[in-house]
Structure 1
Amino acid sequence: MTCSVAIISKDNSPLYVLAADMDKETELQYNFHSALDIVDEKSSNTANKNFDSFLGMLYATELYKIYGYMTNTKIKFILIVDSLNSALRENEVRNIFRSLHVEYTNYISNPFTIPNEPIFSKSFDKNIRNICKA
């Protein structure tokens, strides 16, 4: 499975971006930013209801399916997968987001980590890449 991941702060600034295909990085960045508008819309609609971190599929294009996840602290995870991967089920996407959230939590739990700063950790990057390959 080819996937791209963005972790976005509560202020909508990118903390971490993994572009699976560097040739299409600009297009992926556009999709990440477009997805943020939908995440904000969905999060404001669910403010009074039971909160579910998994926001589901935000939208689809000819090439990609874009999924969203938002933590209680308003950290947003955007996942972009190939539309050709029709075998990917919602339950699997939920598990990917849970793994990404656990990895982010482990990273941010480090006392030397500065919250809301871009992530440049090589071990974090390696772990995120492993999650995407699974």
Structure 2
Amino acid sequence: MAVCVAVIARDNYPLYIRTAEPDHELKFHYIAHTSLDVIEEKLATLTKTTSDMRELYLGILYPTEDYKVYGYVTNTKIKFVVVVDASGINYRDTEMRAIFRKLHHAYSDVISNPFYTPETTITSP
């Protein structure tokens, strides 16, 4: 089960962070922020090895004792971070790719809204 979902702008500030555990929200902000370093490292190695960026899914960024952190980057450098409970179900890469595709589609729907101002915090009732 995903315990945190974060959408991070290309300038590395959060556009949207939602946690399943409101009491530990600060901890998940920290996890999402520290995952940016790993994302930047993976993007640097990807651009050195390949010229095109077709593979947006970065896979597992790092595991902790309690959580596994997965990452995804769009072509416009918007980053998605999903934190999953490590003691629960072990997710395969195909399942995580499907989750990120759905998140990317939902983000595209938000951006397509004519009343949304780009690069501002995403709010949802």
Number of residue pairs the alignment of both structures matches: 122
Superposed CA RMSD in Å reads 1.1
Q: What amino acid is aligned across from residue 39 of structure 1 in structure 2?
A: I
**1:73 corresponding residue in structure 2:** 76
Q: How does 1:24-35 map to 2 (within 5 A)?
A: 24-35=24-35
Task: Please give the per-residue CA displacement for 1:34-72, whole angstroms capped at 9, x wherever unaligned.
Answer: 100100111111114142100000000000000000000
Q: Which TM-score applies when normalising by structure 1?
A: 0.86
Unpaired runs of 5+ residues, structure 1, are 123-134
Unpaired runs of 5+ residues, structure 2, are none
Q: Which TM-score applies when normalising by structure 2?
A: 0.92
Quick check: 1:21 aligned with 2:21?
yes
| Partner Cα separation in structure 2 for residue 23 and residue 16 of structure 1 | 17
**2:90 corresponding residue in structure 1:** 87
Q: How does 1:57-68 map to 2 (within 5 A)?
A: 57-68=60-71
Identity among equivalent positions (%) equals 45
- Whether contact under 8 Å (2:6, 2:16) holds in the other structure is yes
Q: Which aligned runs of 4 or more in structure 1 are off by greater than 2 angstroms?
A: none
